[in-house]
Amino acid sequence: MKDWLEYQNKTYNNSVSKLLVYFLKKYKINNAIDLGCGSGNETVYMIKNRVKVTAIDRQLNKNFVLERLNDKEKENIFFCEEDFENIQLESTDVVIAFFSIPFCNPKHFDELWDKIYDAINENGYFVGQLFGDRDGWKDNELINTFTIKEVEAYLKRYKVLKLDEIEYVRESDNKKWHFYNIIAKKEIKMNDNKTNTNSKVVRN
């Protein structure tokens, strides 16, 4: 298992995801799951915007979150240390997953994706990223990358509110980034169920 603590230390107090800022300005939610919360920057931001948050990570540093909250705000944070492959998710208004779920074991990704969908309340949301097939990690067998067609197939059970494709090379280390920013709304349909083959992706 990768040690994520070094990454959490490097990203502590980074700028909050612009995608999250946009989402919270546009849509009303009461509670959220931060799936792969890392150093907790988005968790803290949501709590300070009056959202109750369950922060989940396979390696948690609770102090990164708690030291930035007052006593009243701490009443709205819940922690869960678990990996993606074994996680059980409670019902929520939104699951946010910022650059996290692509690191799920690929053998368990579809199962995780179904768990996310099942956890989201009717008219709730998924907000996060999936890596594209031209990302610098595309040949890493432990990381999930997707074509745009695959992403669209995964989102068939949702109403897609935002799907932006981002591609660039980071100057600091020449790392190629290719990912999709996603905001998707769960709207229940009469024939909706997780075994619907139209919502599954067949990957070679």
pLDDT in tens, 5-31: 555 555 546 679 999 999 999 999 999
Angstrom distance (rounded) from CA 26 to CA 95: 16
| Count of Cβ atoms closer than 10 Å to residue 11 Cβ | 15
Question: For the chain, what percent of residues have pLDDT higher than 70?
Answer: 85
CATH topology of domain 83-199: Rossmann fold (3.40.50)
Classify residue 21 as exposed, middle or buried by CB count within 10 Å of its CB (0-12, 13-18, 19+): middle
User: For residue 52, is pLDDT > 90?
Assistant: yes
Task: Specify the pLDDT at position 172.
Answer: 84
User: For residue 203, is pLDDT > 60?
Assistant: no
Task: Specify the pLDDT at position 39.
Answer: 86
Q: How far apart are the first and last CA of the chain?
A: 25
Handedness of CA 48, 15, 79, 27 (dihedral sign): positive
What's the pTM?
Answer: 0.87
Q: With contact defined as beta carbons under 8 Å apart, do 76 and 61 qualify?
A: no
Angstrom distance (rounded) from CA 104 to CA 109: 6
Helices (H), the chain: 5-11, 18-26, 41-48, 62-66, 71-74, 109-119, 148-154
Residues 183-195: pLDDT tens digits? Answer: 999 998 655 555 4
